[in-house]
Copies of this chain bind each other. A is one copy, B any other.
Amino acid sequence: MTNLDLERLQRRLRAARGEIEVDLVIGGGLVGNVYTGEWLRQDIALYDGIIVGVGDYPGPRVEVAGHYVLPGFIDGHSHLESSMLVPRELARTLVPLGTTTIVADPHEIANVWGTRGLDYLLAASQGLPLDIFFMLPSCVPASPLGTSGGRLEAADLSPYCPHPRVLGLAEVMNFPGVVAGEAHLLEKIALYPRGPVDGHAPLLSGKALNAYRLAGIGSDHECTELGEAQEKLRLGFALMIREGSLAKNLADLLPAVTPTTLGRSLLVTDDCQPEDLRRRGHLDHLLRQAVSLGLDPLSAITMVTLNPAGYFGLKDRGAIAPGLAADLVVLPDLKEFRVEKVWKQGRLVAEDGRLLPGVELPDTPVPFTPLQVASFDAEVFSPPVTGDLVKVIGLIPGQLLTNRLVLPAPVRNGRLGADVERDLLKLAVVERHHRSGRVGLGLVQGFGLKKGALASTVAHDSHNLVILGVNEPDMVAAARHLVELGGGLAVVAEGQVLADLPLPVAGLLSPAPLEEVAQAHGRLREAYRSLGGTLADPFMTLSFLSLEVIPALKLTDLGLVDVTRFEVVSLFGDD
């Protein structure tokens, strides 16, 4: 302990003893005690960024009588890239909603930029009123059946372990590899012998689940069924109940939360897209949902405060008690969870849904980084037809799963065409990290587009350039527009860009505020609909057509992937 640290602690102790004025007393509120499950009418004394005591303290006072005072909310599992916001804009968005800490798995940006992505996010998340902690991505790339920009082995990750905002190993999605004892995965897990190591093991059960737990996995956020959640809790997994933009498991899993299991249960967002953040909120939305489903409010609050703090070993937060960070949320009711005031490290940073002026949001400039795409022309999107039958990715409404369809091939001049009558559209994945020139080509049914093209550099998990179109020239135009932007989303018809959203940070994130990003999203959707599109969220759907670990048929830059067989298959024929 340095002399400076010692003196600081001694000053804080003087404040705790009530011998000097504290910075602020938050008085008269009902304080949620997550240790005991009680609401206590107490004053809270803040000094030097922390809570120094509860009780009667001298100092300037803010009255919150008739209001509830809670610890700042902590999101225990999130991919911040889903928000499409850079950290400063994410902070501007989340803090007024009561979220003062998030634990992020940056595996999207790591798939594009590798460790450079981690470096960028660590730098860009410094000095914000939102504490962003990181778990080290464990599965980059997600599989060998696509080409990512980054590749992270244990040796790449270990230099990050000492970083004070790096907590553990992020969701080990390759659960079959863990169960089978693959060395490269066990070596990553061994970086954190005492955890936390997050899991991701949908429907894993029995002996395989025993093995997954034995290997050192400490949590799971992929449960979809009650019995599954209960089995995992019994084996000692922390249960992260996810209610995000895509997967919504709260209603199904809430019965697994009992007085005994509460302490090992968390509410997490996983993925939160811009428009959901704007419309529904963040953890405040999850609290609202949980309470509307019958969970008592303080238990729900414990699941986004004390429990994530405990699971991640964040000893300095998660409750209202002496010595903990003065991250506090004040709200008038426990049903709507409309956050009125937020203190971060003792400072009032947000009121009535807005970050206060004067709260600094340091900017981290990102140099323009061009997409690494080899030159290509329209021909690549219309290969010669070599069989009567063609495999088609069939969308299933509302799911990430797809059908594997086999249909008569649409032919035009001996080459593969689209067929709007049958809603068979061209889908291409252009490798964008290494200028390899590789393009995967396929057909997809379900987008409803009658003309034009869509393109995106958000395409899980490798985030290559994915293009959907009715005709090749528009596909080329859409792709070229994204190359100009350095990444993003675009809708093009007849050579004209109808709408776009630039995502210059790794082709994933925008430096613009949420409002702007969400509006651009709205314009993109309108443009898509003006071209005949029928899906609610076409770019979200598009972004998962390349995720080669979710059945049945997907497309990567290496070609069509039959996920059940876990191999690349030919486009033509019914093999």
Contacts and interface: CB of A to CB of B under 8 A. Distances in A.
Interface of A: 1, 5-6, 9-10, 12-14, 16-18, 33, 35-38, 40, 50, 52-55, 57, 179-181, 183, 186-187, 190, 194-195, 206-208, 210-211, 213-216, 230, 233-236, 258-264, 313, 315, 319, 321-324
Given A194-B313, A315-B195, A181 B35 contact: no
B52 A210 contact: yes
B183 A35 contact: no
Contacts of A195: 315
A441 B245 CA distance: 77
Contacts of A57: 207
A383 to B, nearest CB: 43
A323 B36 contact: no
A9 B181 contact: yes
Interface class of chain A by DSSP: mixed
A54 to B, nearest CB: 7
A195 B260 CA distance: 24
**Interchain residue pairs A-B with the least CB separation, the first 10:** A53-B210, A259-B259, A37-B260, A16-B211, A214-B323, A214-B322, A1-B190, A10-B181, A236-B321, A13-B181
A52 B181 CA distance: 14
Nearest to A217: B323
Given A16-B210, A315-B194, A1 B181 contact: no
Assembly stoichiometry (copies): 2
Contact of A321 (B13, B52, B213, B261): B213
Contacts of A190: 1, 5
Contacts of A38: 234
A13 B315 contact: no
A484 to B, nearest CB: 46
Contact of A322 (B10, B13, B37, B213): B213
A207 B6 contact: no
A14 B214 CA distance: 11
Contacts of A179: 13, 17
A111 to B, nearest CB: 25
A55 B210 contact: yes
Q: Which of A53, A236, A261 has the most CB of B within 10 A?
A: A236
Nearest to A9: B186
Nearest to A13: B181
Given A33-B234, A213-B321, A259-B259, A16 B55 contact: no
